[in-house]
Amino acid sequence: MATTMAYKPKGIFEYILIKYRWIFVCFFLLPVSFVYDGLMHLRNWIVFRLNSAPDQHTTKVERVQKQVLDWIESGRTRRMCTARPGWQTVSFRRPAYKGSLHQIDVNLVDILEIDYERKVLRVEPMVTMGQLTSTLNPLGWTIPVLPEIDDLTIGGLVMGTGIESTSHKHGLFQHICVSYELVLCDGSVVKCTKDENHELFESVPWSYGTLGFLTAVEIMMVPAKKYVRLKYEAVNGCATMVEEFEKASADPGNEFVEGIMFSENQGVIMTGNLTDTPEHNKVNSIGNWYKPWFFVHVRNMLGRESAIEYIPLRDYYHRHTRSIFWELQVCNVSDFIHSSLFFYS
């Protein structure tokens, strides 16, 4: 018979930290994180203001070209990478490899053009999803696939990949991209589309920056509305979950489809559609600071057959940002081990 042993603190400080951690959280971690968050927002605002210059895009690209040409003249002794610091990435992994490479400053942070006739948005690679929603949503527009973490960048989603609860209709992030502009390793600037430099266009996604430095992207736009009418359906049984999820994904009437499994046999399927007319008393602004994390809110639906609410569009898009899904949950060790799983169609 397997047995478990309770963990015994090794000292008085460790005992207090474990048994009375709420004191440490309330009177130290929360104030420090509040100050740190404010300072980071201020820093990002200053950095953005210093580097924002949509009308200087060509000049900024030429600056990238010059750095690449300087690298060529230096003898190409080290491989190139972007100079973006590791702490800015949306990852717990510190990219230590950059210290041994030749770093190229690609400081391109602007939304360059909104073409309403072509329904295309032109942006630089360091534009974030939060930047996109705050710009496009008030104008009544959005992009078909908008991954939910605020700080995800266009460059990361193009060179890596991105997925969202609309992907059952529109595919991955790369499938809504119309063109890419890159600086290649010989210092030349090239544009690629489905019709121009087709092989390069198809090769850029998932290339992780190995083919060139991304300097601009054109992305499809679609009309947006103010709210997402979201329906929650609790489902029991893994096989039933798969069946219901496939059915929801195949339904052309569902604009958004997402599922979260909280155990092997318990999960919630969410289906949503855009609307401008919410029902009375059913609006839930889940992005407010005092609201529970979204996955906790969804978990509370497990004991109910179904529920419907209306979520402001920008709140819906960034529903997993505050908690980074469930990675920031403050809980005991056994809770960390539970196998929550989310998936999109």
pLDDT tens per residue, range 273-330: 999 999 989 999 999 988 998 999 999 999 887 899 999 999 999 999 887 766 666 4
Query: Residue 80 and residue 278: Cα distance in Å, rounded?
Result: 51
pLDDT for residue 133: 95
177/262 same-domain check: no
Check if the beta carbon of residue 134 is closer than 8 Å to that of residue 152.
no
Boundary residue ending a domain (166, 193, 223): 223
135 in a structural domain: yes
95 in a structural domain: no
3 in a structural domain: no
pLDDT for residue 330: 47
Check if the beta carbon of residue 83 is closer than 8 Å to that of residue 106.
yes
62/38 same-domain check: no
340/240 same-domain check: yes
Tokens of 18: 């474990």
Provide the sign of the torsion angle of the four alpha carbons 17, 21, 26, 32, taken in this order: positive
316 in a structural domain: yes
Residue 314 CA: distances (Å) to CA of 53, 113, 137, 139, 150: 25, 21, 7, 12, 10
* The pairing of beta strand 256-261 with beta strand 341-344: antiparallel
Boundary residue ending a domain (191, 223, 255): 223
Q: Dihedrals φ, ψ of 107, to 5°?
A: -95, 70
193 in a structural domain: yes
194/231 same-domain check: no
DSSP 8-class letter at 321: T
pLDDT for residue 316: 97
256/215 same-domain check: no
Chain-centroid distance, C-alpha 179 = 21
179/318 same-domain check: no
Q: Dihedrals φ, ψ of 307, to 5°?
A: -155, 150
Query: Residue 219 and residue 179: Cα distance in Å, rounded?
Result: 7
Give the chain's residues under pLDDT 70: 1-10, 40-41, 43-44, 47-48, 86-94, 325-345
The whole-model pTM stands at: 0.81
CA angle 119/125/127 to nearest 5° reads: 75
190 in a structural domain: yes
69/192 same-domain check: yes
62/194 same-domain check: yes
CA angle 86/35/317 to nearest 5° reads: 65
Q: What is the pLDDT of residues 167-190, one digit of tens each?
A: 999 999 999 999 999 999 999 999
Query: Residue 148 and residue 318: Cα distance in Å, rounded?
Result: 4
Q: Domain limits at 44?
A: 16-51
Boundary residue ending a domain (223, 241, 260): 223
CATH classification at residue 130: 3.30.465.10
Query: Residue 295 and residue 251: Cα distance in Å, rounded?
Result: 24
92 in a structural domain: no
Q: How many domains does the chain have?
A: 3
183/313 same-domain check: no
218/236 same-domain check: no
158/65 same-domain check: yes
For residue 106, the tally of other CB atoms under 10 A from its CB is: 24
247 in a structural domain: yes
- Which residues are CB-neighbours of 271 under 8 A, at least 6 positions away? 230, 231, 233, 248, 251, 254, 256, 257
Q: How many CA atoms lie within 13 A of 226 on its CB side?
A: 7
Check if the beta carbon of residue 183 is closer than 8 Å to that of residue 215.
yes
Residue that has been written with the tokens 């590791």 in this structure: 86
Chain-wide mean pLDDT for the chain? 87
182/39 same-domain check: no
